[in-house]
Amino acid sequence: MPMLPPVSKRHTGWRLFLMTVIGRSYPRVVGMQRERSWIFFDTFLPMLSVAAYVFVYRAIKAPEDYVGFVVVGGAMMAYWMNVLWSMASQLYWEKETGNLALYIISPGSMMAILLGMALGGLFATTLRAVGIILLGSLLFQVHFVIASATQLILVFFLTMVSLYGLGMMTASLFLLLSREAWHISNLAQEPIFLISGFYFPIKNFPAWVPMVGSFIPLTLGMDAMRQLAFASGPSLGWISVNIEIMGLIVLSIMFLMGARLLLNYMERLAVREGRLTESRG
């Protein structure tokens, strides 16, 4: 009897999840190596806005730590832009290019697909953020005073988890809103820069503004990192670092659960009704 070809092993469960994550993160990591000019422009151009705020603070003789606040804010802005354009609006653009249907029918979960995109984007964005911090620290002579390296790493990790969880959750919302996603992305950009305190301590706002802004993980994350990385950080912080860490844990759980629910809803909508937006027109 003729020999039958060997049956390939079909991965399921956590193995499938892990392979999906690796498969989706790989193109973004490799793609960054193919267009190395992007690294230069993504690092140099944000430094222009950072430099503008630095010169303003020095002109009005603000405390020198404000310069460090600006440099950290400029670095964290890279993560926010990556979440806004490469996560939140990702499924909408995949639908426009015809790839979303392949994701829906693939055996891998949408959470794994978006997590792979997040990790690939996180690797590239971290290189830009490190470049901005190093360049800004050298150009503007920023002095860091680390109060607790352990807490600083923990805050950064929780900020990234909650931030990319928010990106996964809003990816479904942007997809369901169809073409409005582009307008929402543009609309959200500048208000988030303001209420999250990218270039100044949020303590300077009325009390209700940081409370509203704390639903954006970067608000709590940057305030905590500034308190832990600068000498005057604790005096300019909004609330204590421990409370902000607890807030980031809550946001991480809330956004990841919300992302799972919305992605499952989107998949059921696609399978049951054969459409990927709420618009029936």
What pLDDT does residue 153 have? 92
Evaluate whether residue 11 is within a structural domain.
no
Alpha helices in 7-109 (DSSP H): 13-34, 36-59, 65-83, 90-97, 100-105
Query: Is the full-model pTM beyond 0.85?
Result: no
Residue 32 lies in a domain: no
CB < 8 Å & 24+ apart, contacts of 244-251: 244/155, 244/220, 245/151, 245/154, 245/155, 245/158, 247/214, 247/220, 248/155, 248/158, 248/159, 248/161, 248/162, 248/217, 248/220, 248/221, 248/224, 249/158, 251/162, 251/165, 251/166, 251/215, 251/217, 251/220
Domain assignment of residue 6, yes or no: no
Ordered per-residue pLDDT tens for the chain, 281 residues:
455 555 456 666 678 888 888 887 877 777 666 666 666 766 777 788 888 888 988 898 888 888 888 888 888 888 887 777 677 777 777 777 777 777 777 777 777 888 888 787 787 788 888 888 888 888 888 888 888 899 999 999 999 889 888 888 887 777 777 666 667 777 777 888 888 888 888 888 888 888 888 888 989 999 999 999 988 888 888 889 999 999 999 999 999 898 888 877 777 776 676 665 544 44
Residue-range definition of the domain harbouring residue 171: 37-269
pLDDT number for residue 249 = 95
In a domain, 8, yes or no: no
Residue 239 lies in a domain: yes
27, part of any domain: no
Is residue 113, in this structure, part of any structural domain at all? yes
Within-domain flag for 14: no
Number of domains in the chain: 1
